Amino acid sequence: MFLKPDYNLKDIYEIDFEELKSKGIKALLFDLDSTIMKSKSAEYSAKTREWLSKIEREFVIAVISNNFSEEYIEKVRSISTFDVIGAARKPDPAILLEYLANARIKPSEAVMVGDRPLTDILAGKRAGCMTILVDSINAEHENLPTRFVRRLERLSIKK
Ligand SMILES: [Mg+2]
């Protein structure tokens, strides 16, 4: 189905890097909120920080976020060792394509990782990237309407 990701995982730690490498993947583009950190926290957990520094040795990594707050994005940038781009307007793939072109990486050599089918996964697919959907980090703390919408989104990706 159109929104069906290539991989549907519990969290980022389940990503199989050897498999990605064997498929020619050179870059991982991550959504920010609820994918690699708790929403609006501007903070990596110790585990995530360690995990990111490990994969950074083997892949180009970047954050592509829809967050429009320049202050928030700047805060995340200050604690990151890779590019952090805000106001990305996913599911528009333009920013993903621009980033990859600048990095001289083909879309087919990149994977978009995110927690939202209608923004992250759709943007990745439109850009021609591989896609990985992960569960939202702090879903249990989200209010009911948000959880309801996410459940609907997830239903839409089932075959
Ligand atoms: Mg997100």
- The reply to whether 33 falls in a domain is yes
Q: How many structural domains does the chain have?
A: 1
CA of 94 to the centre of ligand 1 (A): 18
- The reply to whether 2 falls in a domain is no
Cα 121 to Cα 117: distance, rounded to the nearest angstrom: 5
- The reply to whether 1 falls in a domain is no
At 147-158, the pLDDT tens digits run 777 777 777 775
- The reply to whether 30 falls in a domain is yes
CA of 84 to the centre of ligand 1 (A): 14
- The reply to whether 107 falls in a domain is yes
Q: What is the value of pTM for the model shown?
A: 0.89
Q: What's the rounded mean pLDDT across residues 113-125?
A: 97
Tell me, what DSSP letter sits at residue 6? S
| Residue 54 lies in domain | 7-155
Overall size of the chain counted in residues: 159
At 71-106, the pLDDT tens digits run 999 999 999 999 999 999 999 999 999 999 999 999
- The reply to whether 11 falls in a domain is yes
